[in-house]
Structure 1
Amino acid sequence: MFDPDPFTLGCILAGLLLIGMTAGSSFIARLPLSSAMLYLLAGIAMGPWGLGLVKLDALKNTLLLERLTEIAVLISLFTVGMKLELPFTHLRWRIPVQLATVSMLVTVVTITAIGLWALNLPLGAAVLLGAILAPTDPVLASDVQVTNPGDRDQLRFGLTGEGGLNDGTAFPLVMLGLGLLGLHDLGAGGWRWWAVDVLWGVVGGLALGYLLGHLVGRTIVYLRMRHLEALRSDEFIALGLIALTYGLALWSHTYGFLAVFAAGLALRRIVEPRRGRTPGRLHEGLSAEDKAASGAQAPAHMMEAVQRFNSQLESFVEVAMVMAVGVLVATVSFRSEVLWLIPLLFLVVRPLAVYAGLLGTPVAGAQRRLMAWFGIRGIGSLYYLLYVINHGMEPALAQRLLSITLAVIVASIVVHGISVTPLMSRYEQRKKSAR
């Protein structure tokens, strides 16, 4: 009579986890661990290694997991884009751009070399491994990202912008790896890869996303301030713009991740239309909330509402996806090679790539070291892995890349989760002392 079925027990445990995270959020924030570590442990407890309430297999449920990780990354990229308030002409943008291009390429080339000579992978698989592990994660890196749109800190701005950009700039390298394995058409001499996968995919995605974000944002602000329309449902702005941008990007064969990130950036830049004024008498009878949404502060009101909804949605996504990683851990046979590959990636490859990418930038030594350390891997890497598996990668090779990728993600959640609170607290204290 009192023996609950798995679904009932799962509901009880999930509820206890979420309420416990809320009740102990302030206490947890002072500890040398991140919330992602607790979600990971909860996923392990609910998976085959624990109570067996949830079962997932990355090689059998690939399409479902790919779609879930895809949605998670899209929501996070849009949220990241809305955090970055600085205009593109600001010199601080040089830091994330160089990290997402130069550092990205150095990482992929280095991991490709390791894959060829130390892991004995085929060239295409080695390139794919580099492209999968190179992007830093926008979902799990919230503790080192910009905390509010006005944050001008070089470290946080650089890591936030890098996480937003390199989840899209990795895509051409993923397509290159698939092409080298014979799973994607690169064209004679690689012309199609250069023209379509690199130039059109990247430039077209950024342009399309920025245009849509600008048009949608300006239209809604205009309707609110000039006609007192579209005053409610701010959460639909985020969801609608993400879906529209991503759908059109896929349809036009550009990179949807970059497009959604650019849409968030453009929406953040929306300002009040300069022509005309809304007559005060039109505001008669409106509620205080509607007056705020249609008044002089309409753009700021919309941004605040959309950003608040995005942050809440991103938190739910983080819980679900990290718990899924915890469940998947029990289904993977980890190889001994991860014992030396993970320290090599965190302590050698990432610092080498960051120092190369920051050449010529005004980044101080302490900030460089923190950027080199906080190369957090997570849901973005898992998405790329599932993407290539669904494009016909042979099972034995897929199993090996899954072992490496999942081990790197789990290690990143743990080691970066333990170090983020003391390192960032020390960094903020140094900033205060310097001021």
Structure 2
Amino acid sequence: MSLAQWSLFVGALLVTMVLAGTLLGRLPLSSAMVYLALGWLLGPQGVDVLRPDPLAHAHLLERLAEGALLISLFAVGLRLGVPLSDRRWRLPLRLAFVSMATMVAMVTAVGVWMLALPLGAAVLLGAILAPTDPVLASGVPSDGGSHPDRLGFSLAAEGGLNDGAAFPFVMLGIGLLDLHDLGSGLVRWWSIDLLWATAGGVAIGGALGAATGRLVVHLRSRHQEAVGLDEFLGIGLVGMAYGVAQICLASGFLAVFAAGLALQRVRERPRPDTRPLDAAAGLEGHSYDTLATHSHHASATMRDSVQAFNEQLERLAELALVLVVGAMLAYAQPLPAAWWFVPLTLMVLRPLSALAATTGEGLIGSQQAMIGWFGIRGIGSVFYLLFALRSGVDGALADTLVSLTLWTVAASIVAHGLTAQPLMQRYLRTRRRAGARHDPDERPS
């Protein structure tokens, strides 16, 4: 297709999504399902204008997936307003680490015993498929604020955390395939890839997010400087957090997520003897410059502006990545094992891994079931697949990883897209009948 034809297609697609957005909201369909189908139609098995061969173009596709993942992780961090001291964080932390490690272990066992994969390849497959997706989970409510629904908050926070938490296991699998130095007795792996990558990523991102946010709020509220260009602020913070973390051998994904969390928590610094602007007037009664430089509103204005722009980027990233995934399905060989491996992963292994993390958390039955089901696989799995291919995985093993990963992601997009709306409606009805506006565990500690 020529540039003019691509321009026409992309423009028509974006306008159509706007016009059909309300209709899609009434149907048990997600936007990702539409993008996936369109991607398949554009790929080699359709009109053959999009050929994202994951083996031939691993480096370029990895960068595309990486950028989309960074945008989504920062956006999720900005949305999660629950205080870090609140015990509601305990569940997503257990899901992101306990559940993910359990998932890696179970997929590894299946890979070795049922797929006859080498241990390193089985660990790598488990690590690729362990992360859940914070973007494609949009059918599950993950509203912000300090008192969100526990289900939506836990799934969104899990998706934001475990994309970075999967990195050590990916490196372990690659190392066991002799494609990465694990060190004598795995010393380099557990000290650098596991402990430092995790702790360092969170520390670097949190420090940069907090420092940058506080500096901007100070300059705006005290000196009326650094006003505007909030779009640059968000993208710049993502770039700084990721870049510093990667240079320091820490997790760039956790750094970007932590930067979003930290920026969300930058507080106002009111001047003495001043009071907030009239709340009744809201944004309609005051200009952006007035709100951005007022000591009672500078932080909220900065955060809301950055978040609004980043959410638009997130939607465009979802469109681009899922279109590519749809076209990439043509390169996923229809392995016989995929017919049983994909449903096993989504319907058995995910609920079991979630059970390991949710036991003792005081969840009601519907919450337990929903968390077990909504382990949506997406951009993180695609990124780590491409990372493994670029790291030197090739041959029959590469074909197996491509097939099982892409078919799992595609099945997840379809299955979870079809079920998100009806299951959420049922869940909310159950909650209303139970008369529980909030769980006992949702109160701050």
Give me the TM-score of the superposition, normalised by structure 2: 0.93
Query: Secondary structure in 1 aligned to 2:136?
Result: coil
Q: 1:146 aligns with which of 142, 164, 167?
A: 142
Deviation digits for residues 171-199 of structure 1 (CA, Å, limit 9, x no counterpart): 00011111111111111111111111111
The offset of 1:390, in angstroms, is 0.8
Residue pair 2:382, 2:405 contacting (<8 A) in 1 also: yes
Q: Is 1:419 the equivalent of 2:419?
A: yes
Q: Is 1:115 the equivalent of 2:111?
A: yes
> Could you tell me which residue of structure 1 aligns to residue 8 of structure 2?
12
Q: 1:93 aligns with which of 85, 89, 102?
A: 89
Higher mean C-alpha deviation, range 228-237 or range 424-433: 424-433
Deviation digits for residues 345-364 of structure 1 (CA, Å, limit 9, x no counterpart): 11110110101111221221
Equivalent positions of 1:333-352 (< 5 A) are 333-352=333-352
The offset of 1:145, in angstroms, is 4.5
The offset of 1:332, in angstroms, is 2.4
Q: 2:158 aligns with which of 137, 158, 162?
A: 162
Amino acid at match of 2:323: M
Amino acid at match of 1:62: A
Deviation digits for residues 380-403 of structure 1 (CA, Å, limit 9, x no counterpart): 001001111111113221111001
Equivalent positions of 1:3-152 (< 5 A) are 5-152=1-148
Amino acid at match of 1:64: L
The offset of 1:10, in angstroms, is 3.0
Structure 2 unmatched runs, 5+:
277-285, 438-445
> Could you tell me which residue of structure 2 aligns to residue 284 of structure 1?
none
CA distance in 1, matches of 2:28, 2:122: 35
CA distance in 2, matches of 1:7, 1:39: 20
Higher mean C-alpha deviation, range 320-329 or range 13-22: 13-22
Residue pair 2:82, 2:147 contacting (<8 A) in 1 also: no
Residue pair 1:73, 1:138 contacting (<8 A) in 2 also: no
> Could you tell me which residue of structure 2 aligns to residue 390 of structure 1?
390
Amino acid at match of 1:294: T
Q: Is 1:190 the equivalent of 2:186?
A: yes
CA distance in 2, matches of 1:397, 1:38: 30
Residue pair 1:110, 1:349 contacting (<8 A) in 2 also: yes
Amino acid at match of 1:45: L
> Could you tell me which residue of structure 1 aligns to residue 356 of structure 2?
356
CA distance in 2, matches of 1:423, 1:279: 45
With over 3 angstroms needed to count, the CA separation of the structure-2 counterparts of 1:38 and 1:20, relative to structure 1, is same
CA root-mean-square deviation? 1.6
Amino acid at match of 1:290: D
Equivalent positions of 1:280-295 (< 5 A) are 288-295=287-294
With over 3 angstroms needed to count, the CA separation of the structure-2 counterparts of 1:40 and 1:52, relative to structure 1, is same
The offset of 1:65, in angstroms, is 0.3
The offset of 1:6, in angstroms, is 4.3
Residue pair 1:225, 1:278 contacting (<8 A) in 2 also: no
Residue pair 2:50, 2:327 contacting (<8 A) in 1 also: yes
Amino acid at match of 1:317: A
> Could you tell me which residue of structure 2 aligns to residue 216 of structure 1?
212
Residue pair 2:81, 2:144 contacting (<8 A) in 1 also: no
Higher mean C-alpha deviation, range 325-334 or range 140-149: 140-149
Deviation digits for residues 64-100 of structure 1 (CA, Å, limit 9, x no counterpart): 0000000000000000111111122101000100001
CA distance in 1, matches of 2:221, 2:273: 8
CA distance in 1, matches of 2:273, 2:104: 53
Amino acid at match of 2:430: R
CA distance in 2, matches of 1:289, 1:176: 49
The offset of 1:278, in angstroms, is 8.1
Fraction of identical pairs, as percent: 49
CA distance in 1, matches of 2:317, 2:147: 24
The offset of 1:150, in angstroms, is 4.1
CA distance in 2, matches of 1:373, 1:55: 32
> Could you tell me which residue of structure 2 aligns to residue 369 of structure 1?
369
CA distance in 1, matches of 2:58, 2:21: 33
Residue pair 1:124, 1:181 contacting (<8 A) in 2 also: yes
Residue pair 1:138, 1:160 contacting (<8 A) in 2 also: yes
CA distance in 2, matches of 1:276, 1:194: 49
Q: How many residues align?
A: 425
> Could you tell me which residue of structure 1 aligns to residue 241 of structure 2?
245
Amino acid at match of 2:339: L
Residue pair 1:80, 1:164 contacting (<8 A) in 2 also: yes
Higher mean C-alpha deviation, range 258-267 or range 139-148: 139-148
CA distance in 1, matches of 2:139, 2:308: 16
Residue pair 1:69, 1:379 contacting (<8 A) in 2 also: yes
> Could you tell me which residue of structure 2 aligns to residue 302 of structure 1?
302
Query: Secondary structure in 2 aligned to 1:110?
Result: helix
Query: Secondary structure in 1 aligned to 2:144?
Result: coil
Query: Secondary structure in 2 aligned to 1:141?
Result: helix
Structure 1 unmatched runs, 5+:
281-286
> Could you tell me which residue of structure 1 aligns to residue 283 of structure 2?
none
The offset of 1:274, in angstroms, is 5.0
CA distance in 1, matches of 2:369, 2:305: 35
> Could you tell me which residue of structure 2 aligns to residue 283 of structure 1?
none
CA distance in 1, matches of 2:274, 2:207: 26
CA distance in 2, matches of 1:137, 1:126: 21
The offset of 1:276, in angstroms, is 4.9
Q: Is 1:381 the equivalent of 2:368?
A: no
Query: Secondary structure in 1 aligned to 2:132?
Result: coil
The offset of 1:52, in angstroms, is 1.6
CA distance in 2, matches of 1:263, 1:340: 39
